[in-house]
Amino acid sequence: MKLYYVANARMPSEKAHGIQIAKMCEAFIEDGVDVCLVVPSRAREAQSIQEFYQLRVAVPSIRLTVPDFYTRGRFGYRVSSYIFMAASAVFLRWKKIKGERFTVYTVDLDNFSSSALPLAGAPLYSEMHGGKPSTCAQRFLFRHVRGIISINSIIVEELKNTFKSSSPRYCVEPNGVDAAAFHRVDKKEARKRLGLPLEENIVMYVGRFFDWKGLEILPRAAALSPMLRWQTVGGSEAHFKEFVREPLPPNFHFADSRPHEEMPLWLSAADALIVLGTKRDAQSYLYTSPMKLFEYLLSGRPIVASNTPAIRQIVSEKEVLFYEPDDAKDLADTVAHAVAHSGKMTERIETAGHKGKTMSWSGRARRIKQFMHE
């Protein structure tokens, strides 16, 4: 099976979508799919995709020439994206004219750049991480796409309601995790290697800083639990303050962005791990399938998660403790309970570990491949 994986993204990238794309390409290749990743020719890291993400296999890729205006505001992003949209459709159409047989797979990093791909004349499958507006571009895509791969069932129902006249097949596949990469480390050993205090109780948020995540709850909860060290891993204090105007209490700490391969150490160093979610943003409340949650499941540490419909799609009380979204006191109280009663969390931790092992990238790719064959 020849598969052109089209993504309007800088690759490699330290962002979560870059990891997801890389791991899915790796999983498809290891399952026997002849993958070629098609991306714009943006400024990028000197390392190859395989080196940057420490993949087991090389990922063949085509970089289409596109002016790199992506970082020049909304207008610049749209200009570059429209050019990539046209370039990818022309590239694939040319491959079709030359007699090549292939399938096209794409992921929705925006609401329009995939919409010209039906013009390639090849079977098309689209992975969608959120609802879509009923624009001309999206209606054209939905009239021609063979299948939609969604990260949760809430998105499927919304898409069916929005595009009632279209009838693509749907499957639900949450994001995944590479279990082999997330080994557990002794807590004190992890802290020694990271330079963290050995005796403090540490609650940890791991992830990049974005406004839609509801970051403001973290310093508020930290101020309510001064006996705990609140540690973030994923951005600097200056970056955090771009999104949050809250005062930062003295027990609130930053570790900046860290290499992905270092994450098992950070997770192992924690007494409890936090998954955010806010009611004020639809992406956070309804659509997200956070890869960090899948990594948390394998960490052997208590997980405190926002009680949102999106998170409920993935885990239940069997694996995590829930707090009420946007309620800083409830988050502080739930985290304090998780730390104080860690000895009673063994069953939850074991159940979480079993669930994490079933949610591999390889299993996800295998099921999506079967969906496309059917």
Q: Tens of pLDDT along 202-256?
A: 999 999 999 999 999 999 999 999 999 999 999 999 999 999 998 999 999 999 8
Summarised one tens digit per residue, pLDDT across range 258-292 is 888 899 999 999 999 999 999 999 999 999 998 89
In this prediction, residues 333-358 reach a mean pLDDT of 93
Cα–Cα distance, 36 to 26 (Å, whole number): 11
**pLDDT on residue 111:** 87
Q: What is the mean pLDDT of the chain?
A: 94
Residue type, 184: R
Q: What is the pLDDT of residues 177-212, one digit of tens each?
A: 988 888 889 999 999 999 999 999 999 999 999 999
For residue range 28-37, what is the model confidence (pLDDT) as tens digits? Answer: 999 999 999 9
How do strand 34-40 and strand 147-150 relate by DSSP bridges?
A: unpaired
Q: In order of start, what are the domains of the chain with their CATH numbers?
A: 2-176+359-373 (3.40.50.2000), 179-358 (3.40.50.2000)
Percent helix, strand, coil in the chain, to 5, is 45, 15, 40
The 202-206 sheet, strands edge to edge: 252-254, 229-233, 202-206, 272-275, 303-306, 321-323
Quick one: pLDDT at residue 133? 92
User: What CA–CA distances, in Å, run from 224 to 218, 249, 322, 334, 336?
Assistant: 10, 9, 18, 12, 10
Whether 344 has a pLDDT exceeding 80, the answer reads yes
Query: Mean pLDDT across the stretch 20-25?
Result: 96
Alpha-carbon distance 51 to 56, whole Å? 9
Residues 6 or more apart from 279 whose CB is under 8 A from it?
A: 285, 308, 325, 326
Model pLDDT, residue 359: 92
- The predicted pLDDT at position 260 comes to 82
3-class secondary structure, 335: helix
| pLDDT tens digits for range 9-18 | 999 988 889 9
CA distances from 62 to 42, 47, 87, 127 (A): 12, 15, 11, 20
Residues 6+ apart with CB under 8 A from 79: 67, 69
Dist. CA 307–CA 277, nearest whole Å:
8
CB 252 within 8 A of CB 222: yes
pLDDT confidence of residue 145: 95
